[in-house]
Structure 1
Amino acid sequence: MDVRSLPVALTAIMKQRGWTQQQLGRELGVSQAWISRVCNGVADTGLARAKELLARVGWEVRFTPSVEEPVERREFLSAAASVVFVASAADSDPYLDPDYVRALSDSLARGRYELGGLPLAARALGHVKRVAHLQIGSAGHELRGAASDLMYQAGIALYDAGRLAQSEHAGTIALDLAHQAEDAPARAQAYDALSRVSLYRGDPLRAVRHAQRGLRIPDLPPSRLSSLHMRLGRALACVNGSQREAREALDRALGTSGLSPFAEAALGGDVAIGLSRLGHYDQADRLLREAAAAMAQWSPLFRAQYLGRQVQTAVRADEPALAVHHMHSLTRALPFVGSARVNARVTAIITVTAKWDRIPEVRTARENLRATLPAGSSSA
Structure 2
Amino acid sequence: MRSAFYDARMETNDLSEALQAIMDRHGWTQVGLADRLGVTRGWVQHVVKGRRDPGIGSVRERLDRVGWEVVLRPKGRHPVKRREFHEKVVKFAGGAIAGKAAGVMAIPGGGNSPYAEADYVFSLARRASDMRDELGGGPIASKVLTQFKGISAALPTGGKELRTSASEFSRQAAWVLYDAGRPDVARNLAGNALELASGVSDTQREAAAHALLSDLYLQENKPDRAASHAEKGLRLPEVSDGTRAPLEAYLGWALGRSSWAGYSKSRSRKLIDQARGHTSLPPLDSAWVHGVSGLVLHNVGENQQAFTSFEDAVRITEPLPATQYQANDLANAAGVALAAHELDLAAELMKALAYVAPLITSGWVDRKVVTVLRESGRWADVPEIKLARQRLKSALSSEVVAR
Please indicate the TM-score interval, normalised by the length of the shorter structure. 0.7 to 0.9
Structure 1 residues 183 and 298 mapped into 2: Cα distance closer, same or farther (>3 Å)? Answer: farther
Structure 1 residues 112 and 3 mapped into 2: Cα distance closer, same or farther (>3 Å)? Answer: closer
CA distance in 2, matches of 1:168, 1:84: 35
8 Å contact kept, 1:98–1:142: yes
* Percent identical: 28
1:159-170 alignment, distance < 5 Å: 159-170=178-189
8 Å contact kept, 1:51–1:61: no
Correspondence 1:196 to 2:226: no
Structure 1 residues 278 and 341 mapped into 2: Cα distance closer, same or farther (>3 Å)? Answer: farther
8 Å contact kept, 1:117–1:159: yes
- Residues 53-93 of structure 1, C-alpha deviation per residue, up to 9 Å, x if partnerless? 779xx9868547659xxxxxxxxxxxxx9755453447221
Letter in 2 for 1:119: P
8 Å contact kept, 1:151–1:173: yes
8 Å contact kept, 2:26–2:120: no
Correspondence 1:251 to 2:273: yes
Structure 1 residues 334 and 234 mapped into 2: Cα distance closer, same or farther (>3 Å)? Answer: same
CA distance in 2, matches of 1:311, 1:319: 9
Instruction: Identify the residue that residue 56 of structure 2 maps to in structure 1.
Output: none
Give 5+ residue unaligned stretches, structure 2.
Answer: 5-10, 38-62, 69-88, 91-107
Letter in 2 for 1:239: S
Give 5+ residue unaligned stretches, structure 1.
Answer: 5-26, 31-44, 68-80
Number of residue pairs aligned between Structure 1 and Structure 2? 327
Correspondence 1:209 to 2:228: yes
CA distance in 1, matches of 2:306, 2:132: 24
8 Å contact kept, 2:217–2:225: yes
TM-score w.r.t. length of structure 2: 0.73
8 Å contact kept, 1:243–1:278: yes
CA distance in 2, matches of 1:193, 1:3: 26
Instruction: Identify the residue that residue 40 of structure 1 maps to in structure 2.
Output: none
- Residues 89-110 of structure 1, C-alpha deviation per residue, up to 9 Å, x if partnerless? 4722111111111111111222
TM-score w.r.t. length of structure 1: 0.77
CA distance in 2, matches of 1:167, 1:235: 19
Correspondence 1:293 to 2:277: no
After TM superposition, give the deviation of residue 342 of structure 1 in Å. 2.1
Correspondence 1:234 to 2:256: no
8 Å contact kept, 2:115–2:154: no
SS in 2 for 1:259: coil
The one of 339, 343, 347 aligned to 1:320? 343
CA distance in 2, matches of 1:328, 1:266: 21
8 Å contact kept, 2:163–2:197: yes
Instruction: Identify the residue that residue 113 of structure 2 maps to in structure 1.
Output: 93
8 Å contact kept, 1:192–1:211: yes
Instruction: Identify the residue that residue 348 of structure 1 maps to in structure 2.
Output: 371
Instruction: Identify the residue that residue 280 of structure 1 maps to in structure 2.
Output: 302
8 Å contact kept, 2:393–2:401: no
8 Å contact kept, 2:322–2:360: no
Instruction: Identify the residue that residue 179 of structure 1 maps to in structure 2.
Output: 198
Q: RMSD value over aligned CA atoms?
A: 3.0
SS in 2 for 1:376: helix
Instruction: Report the more deviating stretch, 333-342 or 179-188.
Output: 333-342
SS in 2 for 1:135: helix
1:119-134 alignment, distance < 5 Å: 119-132=139-152, 134=153
Structure 1 residues 277 and 28 mapped into 2: Cα distance closer, same or farther (>3 Å)? Answer: same
Structure 1 residues 28 and 120 mapped into 2: Cα distance closer, same or farther (>3 Å)? Answer: closer
8 Å contact kept, 1:214–1:228: yes
Letter in 2 for 1:355: R
After TM superposition, give the deviation of residue 266 of structure 1 in Å. 2.4
Instruction: Identify the residue that residue 329 of structure 2 maps to in structure 1.
Output: 306
The one of 328, 331, 338 aligned to 2:361? 338
8 Å contact kept, 2:27–2:123: no
8 Å contact kept, 1:215–1:228: yes
CA distance in 1, matches of 2:393, 2:20: 44
After TM superposition, give the deviation of residue 124 of structure 1 in Å. 2.7
CA distance in 1, matches of 2:302, 2:389: 25
After TM superposition, give the deviation of residue 305 of structure 1 in Å. 1.0
Letter in 1 for 2:117: D
Instruction: Identify the residue that residue 23 of structure 1 maps to in structure 2.
Output: none
SS in 2 for 1:91: coil
